[in-house]
Amino acid sequence: MMNPKNRRVKRLVTAIVADLLVLGALLGAFTYFYFLRERDYTPRTLTSPTPAVSAAPEATAAEASTAPTEEAAATPTPAVVDTGLLGGKFAEKFTTGEVEQTETSYKSANVSIDVQQIVAGTPEKPITYYLADIYIKDISSFRTAVALDYKDQNQGDRKNVMSTKQLSQLTGALLAISGDNFAYHQSIAVRNGVEWENKLPVFGDICVLYYDGTMETYPQELKRADVDAIYAKEPYQIWTFGPELLVDGQVPAQFANGKANPLSAIGYYEPGHYCFILVDGRQKGYSWGMTYPELAQVFFDLGCKVAFNLDGGDTAVMTYMGEWRSQPEESSPRDTSDILYIVEPTAASGQ
Amino acid sequence: MKRILSRVLPHLTIILGVMTLVFYVVDGFNAVMAFMASDLSKQVFMVLAVSAIVSSIMLISRQWKEDDRKAKKAAKRLETAELEATEAMFELEELKKSRETGKDE
């Protein structure tokens, strides 16, 4: 017969093991419902001054698996589309019609992209980031792509996420960065004038790009009336992530998270002039990563009026002409639900 | 039902409590994942709160019952002691009386 002390120990161990098993099962269920489950969306086209850009240009499987070659990417003389976004300024940034493409820049009559690798920080803690200076004459050059629109080309198990590189190749993006990964969050998501989700409360700050090329950011504590006001101004893109890196054009005094990480962010100077910044990180000797205050300071020093952080960490990557421009920590970085990308305007590319 | 609840609820409270701690720690590393702020997390916190409140009420109720039982037992013991003391007093009085009667004779 077991003595009372041994019986008590056995009962305690059994209870702990049973509780841990249930805890594991509950955490597993939470992970499934919070991250892995593919949510149902009913995309809805919003009213816009111009017809909304089609969410997914048709792409064949063959196109999907092939990165655009230099010849293919360098579209020969796209038609000139100027809707006056830049108000006739920065003429020197564009060509008169031909395409000039190098390993770090792309210039046509409609789009100008210049990507620079910048090394900052200290020798012990270097920070490498990529700054893409973007000028566009038509807002349809600034687009987003959602992985769910490319289900047929997605060979992964999960159809709501895809590699940024593959998405950039499928869309024929000249330049692309990973987006806000809205499939993982409760958010307001508008992509190319199509509403994917509109749920409050949102999980982070909000960035809105309007059809007139202006960009604004809003804090997380949005009320339904605030969202209605945003919708009344005809949003072209809405991202939910954050934080806002500049508030009223200034670096905020405080940020919630002070750790250095790989980061992906967007900046706005004026309608038609934007920048993407991709900070590599967590790679000893190459790039440590950046904190939010450091990144905000970079945008401030660049002269941006608005700056917004997108999903960082293993998701944060940049491609140029369908190939990696940044150097991801992993050979296959975390898949994302969406990307931001720059292309020739829809009228010029015939989409 | 009550018996099952009283056995299950403390375990549920522990499990959800540990789950909340896990969320708290993960949130410290990566706040943007919103482990402490998502709707699903809020539901977990709500269930934890209900479970904690119900198990606490059951525990308090059991403690009160135990207190009542102890008080009743003590009262009974006191009553018995009082009875015994009364009987002893009576016996003492009887003894005194019989001694006094013996002296007189």
The overall average pLDDT reported for chain A is 88
Q: Does A135 contact B at CB distance below 8 Å? A: no
Query: Minimal CA–CA distance to A105: which of A94, A120, A119?
Result: A94
Q: Which residue has the higher pLDDT, A266 or A56?
A: A266
How confident is the model at residue A39, as a pLDDT? 80
Q: Hey, which residues 46-105 in chain B have their CB within 8 Å of chain A?
A: none
Q: Does B42 contact A at CB distance below 8 Å? A: no
Q: How far is A115 from chain B (nearest CA, A)?
A: 28
DSSP A39: P
With a cut of 60, say whether residue B5 has pLDDT above it: yes
Q: Which residue has the higher pLDDT, A237 or A63?
A: A237
pLDDT tens-digit map of A119-133: 999 999 999 999 999
Dist. CA A215–CA A249, nearest whole Å: 12
Q: How many CB atoms lie within 10 A of CB B17?
A: 14
Cα Rg of chain A, angstroms: 22
Q: Would you call A149 helix, strand, or coil by DSSP?
A: helix
> In whole angstroms, what separates CA A10 from the centre of its chain?
53
| pLDDT tier at A43, thresholds 50, 70, 90 | very high
Of A23, A30, A186, the CB nearest to B18: A23
Of A34, A241, A256, the CB nearest to B40: A34
How confident is the model at residue A347, as a pLDDT? 59
Q: Would you call A170 helix, strand, or coil by DSSP?
A: helix
With a cut of 80, say whether residue B65 has pLDDT above it: yes
Those residues whose C-beta lies under 8 Å from the C-beta of residue A19, and which sit 6 or more positions away, are B11, B14, B15, B18
Contact A345, A297 (CB under 8 A): no
Contact A320, A291 (CB under 8 A): no
Contact A339, A168 (CB under 8 A): yes
With a cut of 60, say whether residue A52 has pLDDT above it: no
Kindly report which listed range (A144-158, A238-252, B29-43) carries the lowest average pLDDT score.
B29-43
Kindly report which listed range (A52-56, A58-62, A100-104) carries the lowest average pLDDT score.
A58-62
Averaged pLDDT, B24-53: 86
With a cut of 50, say whether residue A168 has pLDDT above it: yes
Dist. CA A260–CA A279, nearest whole Å: 10
How confident is the model at residue B13, as a pLDDT? 95
DSSP A80: P
Dist. CA B30–CA A312, nearest whole Å: 10
Place of tokens 């987003």: A144
Averaged pLDDT, A112-121: 96
- Determine whether the interchain pair B15/A23 forms a contact, defined as Cβ–Cβ distance below 8 Å: yes
